[in-house]
Amino acid sequence: MLTREEVEEVYRRLAAAMPGRTRGAKGPKGQPDAFRSCISCMLSAQSLDRNTAKACRALFALATTPEEMLALDDAEIAAAIRPCGLYNMKTRNIRAFCSALLERHGGVVPDTREGLLALPGIGRKCADIVLSFTFGKDVIAVDTHVHRVCNRIGLTEAKTADRTAQQLEDRSPAWSLRDGHFWLIQFGKRVCTARAPRCGQCPVSDLCEYYALPSG
């Protein structure tokens, strides 16, 4: 893993090369409130963005609050979210999430990681996305791009996105937390792509552990 000085240098260079958080940046699923952000995040598990968007549109045409959601029967929810797959499991999660939200928080989504993680169906990635995008907290949410980039460069050394998120939080300088997610995701889509990273055009290749490998 890179040293803390090297981690800081990576962020400095990514900040110079990538646009970062732009005005009005929307969460990955572009939902207007915390409740819909949580649900859309749950629906996005193992689903392509376009299928998640389809499922969200259909579901939120029927219900946009936990009360309205619980008034639907399982078959209605499952039919609406069918495009995003795993719809029976996701229907159960949505129902459990809405019940817990009403019972524990009066239907209001909590704005802490602890509170979010205690809700059924909400994992670290969803919690961090909601914290960052809906509540504007300085949190680096880790999706597949961020996870890949961090572990290639050596910012982290983790097999799962959750571990990456934890290590990033421990190792990133405070000033990088607000825009870090955006620099890393933009970099992962434009330069350090999944199949064919553009190492020849990379601003951090001299620091990158993957690049230093004989096969890198």
DSSP state of 177: T
Q: Which of 215, 214, 216, 139 is nearest to 184 (CA)?
A: 139
CA distance 166 to 176: 15
Confirm whether 125 is a catalytic residue: yes
User: Which DSSP helix (H) or strand (E) runs through 176?
Assistant: none
- d(CA 61, CA 101) in angstroms, rounded, equals 20
Q: Quick one: which segment of 23-31, 38-46, 56-64, 190-198 binds ligand SF4 (CB under 6 A)? A: 190-198
Q: Cβ closer to ligand SF4: 45 or 199?
A: 199
Q: Is residue 179 flagged as an active site residue?
A: no
C-alpha dihedral (125, 126, 129, 130), degrees to nearest 10? -150
Q: Which two tokens stand for residue 149?
A: 């980039």
Stretch that binds ligand SF4, among 35-43, 55-63, 111-119, 194-202 (CB under 6 A): 194-202
Question: Residue 49 CB, nearest distance to ligand SF4 (Å)?
Answer: 22
Q: Does 204 help bind ligand SF4 (rule: CB under 6 A)?
A: yes
Q: Tell me which residues in 138-177 interact with ligand SF4 (CB under 6 A).
A: 152-153
Out of 39, 41, 43, 191, the only residue in the binding site for ligand SF4 (CB under 6 A) is 191
For the CB of residue 143, give the shortest distance to ligand SF4 in the complex, in Å: 16
- Catalytic residue IDs: 125, 143
